[in-house]
């Protein structure tokens, strides 16, 4: 369990406890390169060395994407990505995260946070993008144009919604 703190007013601080929703969920991606299958990004292994068979890998195409199906609509507060560190970590520059209920909405579902930047990539192997405001969706995707997409782990943090659209 994780938590996110929100400063709602100057005197009130809200703490929301959220769950890891992506572990073990079905994942797909636009293509597969070098045996980097999509399930590696949700297998619980955060090793950032590609040689340890813990990372995904696509071909270098115009529109690359990776997507996890959370299997039910959820309220997404943020996404944590473990980037490759043995080489090529700059390839993630410009990647975006999208959240929504459209399984074909890799580029059209709502965007969580901004584009991943060089500063975030060079600062740490772990990149956290907060969804402000939290976004509702069953599908979370990472998209990248004109470069290989490699993800060593993707942790989607949020709360599952019940059938009525409220927190389960």
Q: Tell me: the pLDDT tens digits for 67-93?
A: 999 999 999 999 999 999 999 999 999
| Count: domains in the chain | 1
Mean of pLDDT values over 20-47: 95
First to last CA, the chain: 15
Q: Could you give the residue ranges of the DSSP H alpha helices within 55-145?
A: 118-123
Q: Which domain holds residue 153?
A: 20-160
In this structure, is residue 137 part of a structural domain? yes
Instruction: Provide the b/e sequence for 77-102 (b: ≥16 CB within 10 Å).
Output: bbbbbbbbeeeebebbbbbbbbbbee
Element spanning 139, H or E:
strand 126-147
Provide the whole-model pTM: 0.89
In this structure, is residue 167 part of a structural domain? no
In this structure, is residue 6 part of a structural domain? no
Give residue for tokens 């909405």: 105
CATH code, 46: 2.60.120.260
């Amino acid at each position: 369990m994780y938590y996110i703190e929100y400063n709602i007013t100057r005197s009130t601080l809200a703490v929301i406890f959220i769950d890891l929703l992506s572990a073990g969920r079905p994942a797909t991606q636009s293509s597969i390169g070098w045996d980097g299958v999509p399930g590696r990004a949700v297998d619980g292994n955060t090793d950032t060395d590609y040689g340890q068979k813990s990372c995904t890998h696509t071909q270098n195409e115009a529109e690359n994407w990776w997507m996890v199906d959370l299997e039910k609509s959820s309220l997404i507060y943020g996404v944590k990505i473990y980037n490759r560190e043995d080489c090529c970590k700059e390839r993630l520059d410009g990647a975006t995260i999208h959240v929504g209920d459209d399984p074909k909405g890799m580029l059209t579902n709502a965007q969580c946070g901004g584009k991943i930047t060089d500063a975030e990539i060079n600062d740490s192997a772990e990149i956290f993008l907060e969804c402000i405001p939290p976004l509702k969706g069953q599908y979370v995707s990472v998209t990248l144009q004109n470069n290989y997409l490699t993800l060593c782990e993707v942790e989607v943090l949020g709360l599952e919604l019940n059938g009525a659209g409220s927190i389960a």
